[in-house]
Amino acid sequence: MSFINETHDVALKSWVESANTGKSDFPIQNLPFAIFRRKGSAEAFRGGVAIGDQVVDLAAVATLFSGDAATAAKAASEPTLNHFMSLGQSFWSALRLALSKALREGASEKAAIEATLIAQEDVEYDLPCHIGDYTDFYTSIYHATAVGKLFRPDNPLLPNYKWVPIGYHGRSSSIGVSGQTFPRPKGQTKAPDAEAPSFGPCKRLDYELEVGIYLGKGNALGDSIALDDTDSHVFGFCLFNDWSARDLQAWEYQPLGPFLAKNFASTVSPWVVTNEALAPYRTTWLRDENDPQPMPYLESEKNREVGSYDIIMDVAIETAKMRAESAAPSVVSQSSFKHSYWTVAQMVAHHTVNGCNFQAGDMIGSGTQSGPLHEEAGSLLELTRGGKESITLNNGESRTFLEDGDKVIMRGWCEKAGFVRIGFGSVESTVLPAK
């Protein structure tokens, strides 16, 4: 099964030279979408597409296209991508193909588009869409097992984990775009030896390395999305840092799950890499033969063959001391989305099997993506074994959990023999002192 088309051709080059270096996150084979405006301006935010180190201003070039591509470009020129996302797969693909052709070497549209390009270093971003609802899943069995061992050494995985994709309804109002800053959250915590809880700033602030999945065309209330139909509803992907206050979480999570430990901030990368762009990096999804096999509504040949995505991700910490000394951030871990126990298709199918209705712009968080090795952990909670072992950064500083002034930088990319490397850019956000 293949979703590969001419837009993925490794031989394609762009007349935008910065897209052809082999090191750019945004070659012509990528073409991700964002909402932007010139930095520090009062311009209206509008849709743009990344090519090399430039942004194609869709509002300025929409008239160059025709048919479905023109309809899509006009919708994508709006202050959010929701309308564009709602149009569906045929419109997304039409615009992607039109942009690919217009940005290729020798394209007749070069002069018209070149005059509208804006350097990425000169723009600022807004959220790519209005996120009406967001659900955070728990799809990494390695993360679930490592965290479970901290609380239940003899029974780290709860009985339902291998049967059902676990998720909870998150708070969309506190999701911000890369560059987000937020004060250290406050709340109740309870030390193991204390008779009563106390109130104050959290002491165990953590990041979570996740993939964000944006839904495009929705489904009506009462209707479900079949496993093999999910590609027509999944618009694209981003990097997602779902911040967590671990000490608040430990006290409050029973019996209803995350609350104040999760709702104070979450950060997304500005660029949305489309599902179509990721086609070359889809891979087989496997379930251990000794584990329960998925129920029929979560099982198909297509999901087995191309259900996983090999998105490589890493996490770096930049401390205030590093910034003061112009030192490079310290990379602390690297993992891949291919290790996910449940696929994107399974998350979408399960989310709607009860008739839950998605709307364009709704987002799914994958849950913390940790690999099978300890150094592939997607959170400090795992890397420090619950805060018992500190990690040492490149400049000699150490961390068990995050300190005020720390910036967390997450990057993501895909690479595969026979195809061009594409990337997600980064998602960066900084912890401020508690108010």
Q: Tell me which H or E stretch contains 110.
A: helix 110-114
- Domains of the chain with CATH codes: 6-126 (2.30.30.230), 134-432 (3.90.850.10)
Please check whether residue 414 is in contact with residue 281, taking contact to mean a CB–CB distance below 8 angstroms.
yes
The owner of tokens 């379930």 is 287
- Residue 154, pLDDT above cutoff 90: no
Q: Kindly report the pTM of this predicted structure.
A: 0.97
How do residues 87-144 score in pLDDT, each as one tens digit?
A: 999 999 999 999 999 999 999 999 999 999 999 999 999 999 999 999 999 999 999 9
* Residues placed in the known binding site for Mg(2+): 242, 262, 266
Count CB atoms within 10 A of the CB of residue 218: 19
Q: How far apart are CA 360 and CA 235, in angstroms?
A: 9
pLDDT classification of 248: cutoffs 50, 70, 90: very high
Q: Say what the pLDDT of residue 209 is.
A: 98
Please check whether residue 407 is in contact with residue 429, taking contact to mean a CB–CB distance below 8 angstroms.
yes
Q: How far is CA 329 from CA 190, 209, 270, in A?
A: 33, 16, 20
Q: Say what the pLDDT of residue 17 is.
A: 98
How do residues 342-388 score in pLDDT, each as one tens digit?
A: 999 999 999 999 999 999 999 999 999 999 999 999 999 999 999 99
Q: How far apart are CA 23 and CA 214, in angstroms?
A: 26
Query: How is residue 284 written in tokens?
Result: 């087989």
CB-based contacts of 132, cutoff 8 Å, min separation 6: 172, 359, 361, 362
Beta strands in 150-226 (DSSP E): 167-169, 175-177, 181-183, 186-189, 198-201, 205-206, 209-215
Helix ranges (H only) for 332-432 are 344-352, 380-383
Q: Say what the pLDDT of residue 254 is.
A: 86
* Residues placed in the known binding site for Ca(2+): 136, 208, 210, 242
Q: Say what the pLDDT of residue 65 is.
A: 97
Q: What is the DSSP string of 323-349?
A: HHTTPPPEEEEEEEGGG-SS-HHHHHH
Half-sphere exposure of 318 (CA within 13 A, CB side): 15
The owner of tokens 């009406």 is 132
* Residues placed in the known binding site for substrate: 138, 152, 249, 253, 368
- Residue 1, pLDDT above cutoff 80: no
Q: Say what the pLDDT of residue 268 is.
A: 98
The catalytic residue positions are: 143
- What per-residue string of b and e applies to 366-379 under the rule 16 or more CB within 10 Å gives b? bbbbbbeeeebbbb
* Residues placed in the known binding site: 136, 138, 152, 208, 210, 242, 249, 253, 262, 266, 368
Local structure of residue 54 (DSSP, 8 states): E
Q: How far apart are CA 370 and CA 206, in angstroms?
A: 14
Q: Tell me which H or E stretch contains 157.
A: none
Q: How far apart are CA 365 and CA 262, in angstroms?
A: 12
